Amino acid sequence: MKKVAVSILGATGSVGQRFVELLSNHPWFQIVSLAASDRSAGKKYADVVNWLMPSPLSKEIGEMEINLCEPGIPGNIAFSALDSSVAGDIEAAFAHEGYTVISNARNHRMHPSVPLLIPEINNDHLDMVKQYTTGQIVTNPNCSTIGLCLALKPLYDAFGIESVHVVTMQAISGAGYPGVASLDVIDNVIPYIKGEEEKLETEPLKILGKLVDGRIQPADFSVSAQCNRVPVIDGHMECVSIKLKNKASPEDLIHAWRTFSGIPQKLQLPSAPQYPIHYLEGDAFPQPRLHRNIDKGMAVTIGRLRPCPLFDYKFTLLSHNTIRGAAGGAILCAELMHICKK
Amino acid sequence: MKKVAVSILGATGSVGQRFVELLSNHPWFQIVSLAASDRSAGKKYADVVNWLMPSPLSKEIGEMEINLCEPGIPGNIAFSALDSSVAGDIEAAFAHEGYTVISNARNHRMHPSVPLLIPEINNDHLDMVKQYTTGQIVTNPNCSTIGLCLALKPLYDAFGIESVHVVTMQAISGAGYPGVASLDVIDNVIPYIKGEEEKLETEPLKILGKLVDGRIQPADFSVSAQCNRVPVIDGHMECVSIKLKNKASPEDLIHAWRTFSGIPQKLQLPSAPQYPIHYLEGDAFPQPRLHRNIDKGMAVTIGRLRPCPLFDYKFTLLSHNTIRGAAGGAILCAELMHICKK
Amino acid sequence: MKKVAVSILGATGSVGQRFVELLSNHPWFQIVSLAASDRSAGKKYADVVNWLMPSPLSKEIGEMEINLCEPGIPGNIAFSALDSSVAGDIEAAFAHEGYTVISNARNHRMHPSVPLLIPEINNDHLDMVKQYTTGQIVTNPNCSTIGLCLALKPLYDAFGIESVHVVTMQAISGAGYPGVASLDVIDNVIPYIKGEEEKLETEPLKILGKLVDGRIQPADFSVSAQCNRVPVIDGHMECVSIKLKNKASPEDLIHAWRTFSGIPQKLQLPSAPQYPIHYLEGDAFPQPRLHRNIDKGMAVTIGRLRPCPLFDYKFTLLSHNTIRGAAGGAILCAELMHICKK
Amino acid sequence: MKKVAVSILGATGSVGQRFVELLSNHPWFQIVSLAASDRSAGKKYADVVNWLMPSPLSKEIGEMEINLCEPGIPGNIAFSALDSSVAGDIEAAFAHEGYTVISNARNHRMHPSVPLLIPEINNDHLDMVKQYTTGQIVTNPNCSTIGLCLALKPLYDAFGIESVHVVTMQAISGAGYPGVASLDVIDNVIPYIKGEEEKLETEPLKILGKLVDGRIQPADFSVSAQCNRVPVIDGHMECVSIKLKNKASPEDLIHAWRTFSGIPQKLQLPSAPQYPIHYLEGDAFPQPRLHRNIDKGMAVTIGRLRPCPLFDYKFTLLSHNTIRGAAGGAILCAELMHICKK
């Protein structure tokens, strides 16, 4: 089987590096183009990148010459790891020229004709992209949104949701590189991440919304979010309180989570976790360092389900912010779109 | 002025060390006895203690011989930094023999005739201790409770409170020494602290309760708590959402906090912070490493007040868990009791 | 091919867990017995162990019942992860009863008839173990020693060594679990590890020594060691200065390292790294988080070779202390002994 | 007594902030001018600075308007916390216009007519500055150099030094703000700090050198340095091995350290530590978090003196890199110069 040619926009940053790592031995996709800013263009990838991934950079990729982020480069599926300060225009330009852009940036996420895709949850939203005459943009949700929505989806379907309160403790890798200064985060917590609470309060409603006549009807519950940065390398933790529409026992919730499965599992997409949700027994689970890599970093882990005096239930969830929450999630979207097209 | 003789029970642990540090140059109190388990009794304090405080141990204190934790030792005000596994009986024994025990342990906190004291908030609860025929026990609330209650008190008085949702990110020093294993908390978060959520959900209602006919009528709101351990040395952060009984603007809340003052401020007690509550401007404040020592570590700092889609308001607070939240808070209680007696 | 039955002594501690992890899918060995103290014996492994490895504990192993550490248990190759406070007697008892004990403990390392084995370096030392009439003990060097010796061996053979000065920055996992208290190591360095400097100053001389008439003639250079604990999860760093017997250029040293290969590579033992030594270009390499897992955590990485004003050269090395430096290294020893026996 | 007017060049960076903090209540000096780059000039200090010091910024200083770093600003003693990329020219310009520049930057340190001053060690080197016709530059050594030289000086005077081998573990605050990226240093060590080893190998020889006919004759021993960055907020650790010219017992060395005192102690300069060197008993001392603030952060602490198989002795030292090693050290220089002038 001939592999599909793909390109990576913003290939030198930390999300870009994850794309490179995860696509290096991908069974379906082949990296044919790495694009970055004009500071890097024309140089070898290995000479420019400050490689921070745990597995070594392959010789072959390291030798590739970096392109400018302009339409015309090979690789018709373009994974965008661009910074939001430039992603808007560049991604639109690529889509306009016929590329399928799978973006990790926030710029187009809430656009009424752009899907905000989590393949296990809302693959039907892909119907929206036919409206693009040439090319298309599909977006990956915010790293904290993905974990939350995967945990909410089975509950939303089975019991309905009235309200969700979430407090996050997010890893430093979510801020890219150099990102968070060490003086700001060692022996410290930063109780603020710019724009993050707004995303967590809006994106889930689009993702769990219904596509009606080509438009998303947002889900009808409210989310309140508080976001913190903690000294953890990878893995976003979220303390969730939830009020359901219908009564359910703790066992009901755990059953809903453990039996949850989506189209990526059914199609056995290469990047799909075996189980999208792992509910862990144990008083003090999940923990970022112990559980972020479960199921290739593509699953959400949940623990500590217990009654809440104000809402119905409280629980803690964890998801890997640069795998499931960024590059890995985007690759799963591309896998789904690729197989659906065939 | 002759100083008042005080003793420290459990003087070698991390809270015990804070008592030693804070009482070393106290204007009113003089340490005359250090007590610990029989492993340490009979030895010099300096030879036994694994001193972890930032200021050096004084020669004089280091030379003191450690006593057993048994009534009869000098120092009629006994500060208890005992572990809860032994605090219950030992503290009762001391009280029975006529000591005034100011305890940091949880054992007697919820006892109907023991005050759970935060001097700025409920100094009238001290009226309860007359019921003790000989000696008395006064308790200091849990380290997370103190910060929360200081933030709630002005709001409770001015606007009434309907419900409080709190998620904590707590420092490792709260677990004592050796306490949290480094393998459990570097590059990690532990989403569980034994017994902590229960304390945060019950203690505030007693503290903000009303003393009627010698009994506390608990405050009539609900608290939901989720507690996490994060890699921070000192300083507990709390993300709070609150629903008030009466409408209030953000300016009203900030005004209530900034003008809040209690009996320790009025009496200018030696350990009293100038302002019990500091509201900080700035997107990303408070932060443990930057603000835990404000006002000698005896104040609570608050920031990020903003509307909440589910409750009325959200904000973040910080208090120093081993100063205000433990030894410093207990010493303030003793100062109040001492001056009231005169 | 039928797998060889092996047992793990001290299976619940952190090195024991690494043995379990690395042996779980081993092509030659099969865990048939897990042994621990009488606190754990008789219980299921999953119920007792505080599992800290990055990959999840397998169901099958978790169900195994724990044995006492007494001869008679199945698994004639016994991997010992015992604490040195008990390892001496228990290992001797197993050897006496005919087991082949591969030990990670320090107790028997310097015994004149026990090999201190690094398969790439001194596989001929295995000739010593014939002296044992029943059973045998083979030991794995200290975690810091292994990385140092792998780096020294090619230089020793090619140029001779006169003296070695080494300062280590060691990971917390080297102290086991719970091990280092978080209050001791966050925002801190501990300039002392009990017994470690002595091991680093003596073990290399035995390892690089020559077996003559059944006795080791130690290598004839001196080592000076200073050992520190730093807040790193896994991976020991060592700053080395070295004086050679014969002149050599930096290129000579790098060539010696890069072309170094031993019997495990020749025999393609399952746990052998492809290259025992990786010399890294780059100003600031190696780094624990980036490079500790190179070649399955079984290789040593070296960087920053440069002239030294006092010795001949300075360089920095890194090796994974719980893989190459403990469980992985011991398994490689067992693989070598197993294949040599056939 | 009227205070002396001083200015701070580069007042917004992390060393600049330390100058502000330490000079805020200085008994002799009064900050009359804060200077920074044109990005900040014209704005209020509080609006521009990202204040990271543990004590809060005073209202009065916060209100000050920032000047450009150009001669003409008030404050004839100019403390320079400028980055070395701009310090060379700016400092020279100020000196040319008659200012006394006390600089923390490396640019002029090795200039033959600029003193590299540690007041306890080489106050006689100040005689060099008469050569400047207008104004003068006096420099503060590198943060690692200061701690090392304070430890070496008493040994150099009493026993002579033949060679020094030093491996550092340096705090992140040494790199300024934002400085070291958190992704580079959490769960990690960086075995390289640009230019640092060169400074440590050359500056001590000038500092311990002799002023003869207006020129420094450098001290006649060799230093070999290896520098690492570790996840510590403040406090540089150094593992030192030393060969002396004359034999001395451990007690001799400790006596030399403990009795060492210099002109700042004799003159009781406001910033002088009571004892420049504290030798600590205890297996595992000094440690950055426990000991960096001893004697106001102005002393060096030493521990673990023991014989070295290659040199004569090994020991570990610690000094506070942004107090003694930067702003505090520079202020001590200014105090000495001020009192000498009178």
Q: What is the pLDDT of residue A310?
A: 98
Q: Which of A266-270, A331-335, B125-129, C157-161 has the lowest mean pLDDT?
A: B125-129
Are D16 and D109 part of one and the same domain? yes
Q: Give residue-wise pLDDT tens across range B96-154.
A: 999 999 999 999 999 998 999 999 999 999 988 865 556 899 999 999 999 999 999 99
d(CA A212, CA A203): 18
Pairing of strands B236-244, B313-319: antiparallel
Q: Mind listing the pLDDT tens digit for each residue in C256-284? A: 999 999 999 999 999 999 999 999 998 99
> At residue A131, does pLDDT exceed 60?
no
Model confidence over C20-47: pLDDT tens digits?
999 999 999 999 999 999 999 999 999 9
Whether D110 and D209 map to the same domain: the answer is: no
Size of interface C-D (CB pairs under 8 A): 120
What's the confidence (pLDDT) of residue C134? 65
B236, B278, B291, B320: the catalytic one is B236
Number of domains chain C is built from: 2
Determine contact: D16 vs chain C, CB below 8 A.
Answer: no
Q: Which of C303, C304, C308 sits opposite D224 (nearest CB)?
A: C308
Buried b (16+ CB within 10 A) or exposed e, C272-291: bbebbbbbbeeebbbbbbbb
Question: Does the structure show a pLDDT above 70 at C232?
Answer: yes
CB B136 within 8 A of CB B100: yes
Identify the closest residue of chain A to C290 by CA–CA distance: A54
The torsion angles phi and psi of D313, rounded to 5 degrees, stand at -140, 155
Please tell me if residue D49 touches chain A, with a CB cutoff of 8 Å.
no
Using a CB–CB cutoff of 8 Å, tell me whether D180 touches chain A.
yes
pLDDT of D130: 65
Q: Please state the rounded mean pLDDT for residues A142-155.
A: 98
pLDDT at C133: 56
What is the spatial distance between Cα A60 and Cα A77, in angstroms, rounded to a whole number?
A: 20
Rounded CA separation C229/D225 (Å): 20
CA distance C114 to chain D (A): 26
- Is A133 in the same domain as A149? no
Q: Is D212 helix (H, G, I), strand (E, B) or coil?
A: strand
CB of C198 less than 8 A from some CB of D: no
Task: Check CB contact of B55 with chain D, cutoff 8 Å.
Answer: yes
Give residue-wise pLDDT tens across range A308-318. 999 999 999 99
* Regions of chain D short of the pLDDT cut 50: none
Q: Which positions in chain A touch D13 (Cβ < 8 Å)? A: none
Of B56, B233, B290, the CB nearest to D294: B56
pLDDT band at C342 (very low <50, low <70, confident <90, very high): low
pLDDT for C187 beyond 70:
yes
Say yes or no: A179 and A286 in one domain: yes
Q: CB distance C54–A293 less than 8 Å?
A: yes
Closest chain B C-alpha to D293 CA, distance in angstroms: 7
Report the residue from C165, C192, C316 with minimal CB separation from D304.
C192
Q: Domain with A335 in it: what CATH number?
A: 3.40.50.720
**Closest approach of chain A CAs to the CA of B148, in angstroms?**
16
Mean pLDDT, residues A11-30:
95
Q: Does C294 touch chain A (CB under 8 A)?
A: yes
- Subunits that touch chain B (at least 3 Cβ pairs < 8 angstroms)? A, C, D
Q: Which of D288, D304, D309 sits opposite C189 (nearest CB)?
A: D288
Chain C CB within 8 Å of residue B263 CB: no
- Interface residue A283 vs chain C (CB under 8 A): no
A110 touches chain D (CB under 8 A): no
pLDDT of residue B309: 97
Q: Are B102 and B226 part of one and the same domain?
A: no
A108 catalytic per annotation? no
Asked whether the beta carbons of residue C293 and residue A55 sit closer than 8 angstroms, the reply is: yes
Amino acid type, D195: G
Prediction ipTM score: 0.95
C-beta separation of B170 from A295 below 8 A: no
Q: Measured in Å, how far apart are chain B's first and last C-alpha atoms?
A: 13
CATH (domain of B274): 3.30.360.10
Mutate which of B182, B186, B189 to test chain C, going by most C C-beta atoms within 10 A? B182
Residue A55: what pLDDT? 81
C190 and chain D: CB distance < 8 Å anywhere?
A: yes
Other C-beta atoms lying within 10 Å of the C-beta of residue C254:
16
Asked if D95 and D178 sit in the same domain, the reply is no
Residues of chain D contacting residue A233, judged by C-beta atoms under 8 Å apart: 183, 186-187
Q: Are residues D63 and D182 in the same domain?
A: no
Contacts of A184 in chain B (CB under 8 A): 287
pTM above 0.80, yes or no: yes
Residue of D nearest to B182 (CA): D187
Among C189, C233, C304, beta carbon nearest to D230:
C189
pLDDT of residue D131: 52
Residue-number span of the structural domain to which C233 is assigned? 143-320
- Tell me the residue type at C45: Y
Q: Are residues C118 and C195 in the same domain?
A: no
Q: Tell me if B145 sits within 8 A of B226, measured CB to CB.
A: no
Q: What is the pLDDT of residue B129?
A: 83
| pLDDT tens per residue, range B15-70 | 999 999 999 999 999 999 999 999 999 999 999 999 888 788 999 999 999 999 99
**Six token digits for residue C151:** 């780096």
Residues from chain B that touch A230, judged by Cβ atoms under 8 A, are 169, 189, 230-231
% of residues, chain C, pLDDT over 70: 98
The sign of the dihedral angle between the CA atoms of D118, D332, D338, D10 is: positive
The pLDDT score that the predictor gives to residue B132 is 52
User: What mean pLDDT value characterizes chain B?
Assistant: 95
Kindly report, residue by residue over C298-321, the tens digit of the pLDDT: 999 999 999 999 999 999 999 999
Neighboring chain D residues of A172 at a CB cutoff of 8 Å: 182-183, 186
Taking the alpha carbons at both ends of chain D, their separation in whole angstroms is 13
| Residue D207 and residue D168 share a domain | yes
User: SS3 letters for chain C?
Assistant: CCCEEEEEECCCCHHHHHHHHHHCCCCCEEEEEEEECCCCCCCEHHHHCCCCCCCCCCHHHHCCEEEECCECECCCEEEECCCHHHHHHHHHHHHHCCCEEEECCCCCCCCCCCCECCHHHHHHHHHHHHHCCCCEEEECCCHHHHHHHHHHHHHHHHHCEEEEEEEEEECHHHHCCCCCEHHHHCCCCECCCCCHHHHHHHHHHHHCCEEECCEEECCCCEEEEEEEECCCCCCEEEEEEEEECCCCCHHHHHHHHHCCCCHHHHCCCCCCCCCCEEECCCCCCCCHHHHCCHHHHCCEEEEEEEECCCCCEEEEEEECCCHHHHHHHHHHHHHHHHHHHC
* Minimal-distance CA residue of chain A relative to C55: A294
Q: What is the DSSP letter of D272?
A: -
Output the pLDDT for position A133. Answer: 56
How much is the pLDDT for D340? 83
Q: How confident is the model at residue A134 (pLDDT cuts 50, 70, 90)?
A: low
* C-beta atoms of C178 and B173 within 8 A: no
If you measure CA to CA, which chain A residue comes closest to B284? Answer: A192
Q: Between the CA atoms of D244, D247, D252 and D258, what dihedral angle is there, to the nearest 10 degrees?
A: -10
Q: Which residues of C touch B187 (CB under 8 A)?
A: 233
Give the chain D residue whose CA is nearest to the CA of A176.
Answer: D183
Question: Mind listing the pLDDT tens digit for each residue in A192-236?
Answer: 999 999 999 999 999 999 999 989 999 999 999 999 999 999 999
Residues D101 and D8 in one domain: yes
Q: What percent of chain B is predicted at pLDDT more than 70?
A: 98
**pLDDT value at position B134?**
65
pLDDT of residue C56 exceeding 90? no
The 3 state secondary structure assigned to D115-154 is CECCHHHHHHHHHHHHHCCCCEEEECCCHHHHHHHHHHHH
Shared domain check, A149 and A137: no
Note whether B273 and B254 are same-domain residues: yes
The Cβ of residue B133 has, within 10 Å, a number of other Cβ atoms equal to 9
Any B CB within 8 A of A286 CB: yes
Residues of C marked as catalytic: 143, 236
Instruction: Select which of B69, B108, B125, B143 is catalytic.
Output: B143
A14 at D interface, C-beta within 8 A: yes
